Structure 1
Amino acid sequence: MQTIGLIGGMSWESSASYYRLLNLGVQDRLGGLSSPKLVLSTVDFQELTQFEDEERWDQIGTLLADAAQGVERAGADFLLLCTTTFHKVAEQVEAAVDIPLLHLGDVVAQACLDEGMAKVGLIGTTVAMSEPFFTDRLASHGLEVIVPPAADHEWLNTAIYEELVHGVVLPRTRSRVVDLIERLWDDGANGVLLGCTELELLVKQADAELPLFPCTSLHVAAALDRALA
């Protein structure tokens, strides 16, 4: 079994989801008392979000690259960024280490293509929806990606940062997100990506008729495929 390196803390709820899903996945695949070999480094989310607000992305990249180097030194065979938004600096992180980065965009794109998707919607933070770093990565695999109108970005971003990263799951927010998913369906999406780890705390497939792609769960499954190959 290879050792999986995790860069977390964006938020701690996200890191907890990755840790839980990785352990459940190994239990399901190997049984017994099996658990994954992991190296986890978490960053100060307050510091990162302050840099994000100030658009100091070079500094964010440096912080995450330093964390990645620590994970590599601790024996990780490959690396995951436990976040969608901060994949904005994935190339800077990847360049700082000699171990491979399992990029979330590549994993999710392949999952969509395997299900015959051609056009998908993406919901997540304002950065993930409004900037091209993630949608372009998906498009490089041949997917057409649509996002909600800009008018919806602020309330969804607020729900993520003021509710979900604190583990607060509100039915009214779920209803509003499900409505957003349905509007993406009306706009021609064949499926919708839950492009923020914390959104998986809020919305499940049972809540929507349109196929949902939980990015974190897909990321974890791909990591286990690699670690156990």
Structure 2
Amino acid sequence: MKTIGLIGGMSWESSAEYYWLIDRHSKALHGGHHNAKSVLMTVDFAEIEALQSAHDWPALGACMADAARRLEAAGADFVVLDTNTMHRVADSIAAAVTLPFLHVADLAGAELLLSPALATNRRVPPGETITLLLLVSASAATMLPMK
């Protein structure tokens, strides 16, 4: 079983939810008293929120990169980020470690390609790609654009 490296703390409530879901799935998958092997690195959300409010994305990238390096040093086999907004600095995280970084957009896109919700009469074969169009509501359009 591989060790999951979790960058959390944005907010602690969501980190607890991620942890609970991962272990619940692991127990369902493996049975008995199994749970996932994981390392959780939490950050102080007050510091993150202040940097977000200041739109200091380079500093935010450095914070997330530091957390990823700590997870690598602690023995994680791959890194996931327990938040949506901070995926904006995914490149900083991926560049900071030699571990795989599982990006939420890649995982969601892969799941969507397997979903009957995709408006196509066939599944997309492995190795083939399609373009997905993301529709954003008017209220969400006021948010900063993602890379």
Match in the other structure for 1:30? 30
Unpaired segments ≥5 residues, structure 1: 120-139, 158-229
Structure 1 residues 81 and 30: CA distance shift in structure 2, 3 A: same
Match in the other structure for 1:80? 80
Q: Which amino acid in 1 is paired with 2:133?
A: E
Counterpart contact for 1:118–1:144, Cα < 8 Å:
no
Alignment of 1:134-153 (within 5 A): 142-150=131-139
Match in the other structure for 2:123? none
Please state how far the C-alpha of 1:43 moved relative to its aligned partner: 0.4
Match in the other structure for 2:91? 91
Q: Which amino acid in 2 is paired with 1:17?
A: E
Aligned length: 134
Cα RMSD for the two superposed structures? 1.8
Match in the other structure for 2:8? 8
Spell out structure 1 runs of 4+ moving beyond 3 A. Answer: 116-119
| Secondary structure in structure 1 of the residue aligned to 2:102 | coil
CA distance in 2, matches of 1:92, 1:23: 28
| Secondary structure in structure 2 of the residue aligned to 1:142 | coil
Alignment of 1:27-66 (within 5 A): 27-66=27-66
Please state how far the C-alpha of 1:117 moved relative to its aligned partner: 3.8
Identity level (%)? 42
Match in the other structure for 2:122? none
CA distance in 2, matches of 1:35, 1:51: 34
Please state how far the C-alpha of 1:116 moved relative to its aligned partner: 3.7
* Per-residue Cα deviation, 1:118-165 (whole angstroms, up to 9, x for no partner): 47xxxxxxxxxxxxxxxxxxxx85211101113x667xx9xxxxxxxx
Structure 1 residues 141 and 101: CA distance shift in structure 2, 3 A: farther
Q: Which amino acid in 1 is paired with 2:136?
A: V
- Quick check: which one's helix share is greater? 1
CA distance in 1, matches of 2:130, 2:34: 35
Please state how far the C-alpha of 1:50 moved relative to its aligned partner: 0.6
CA distance in 1, matches of 2:130, 2:73: 32
CA distance in 1, matches of 2:51, 2:94: 20
TM-score by length of 2: 0.85
Unpaired segments ≥5 residues, structure 2: 120-128
Q: Which amino acid in 2 is paired with 1:93?
A: I
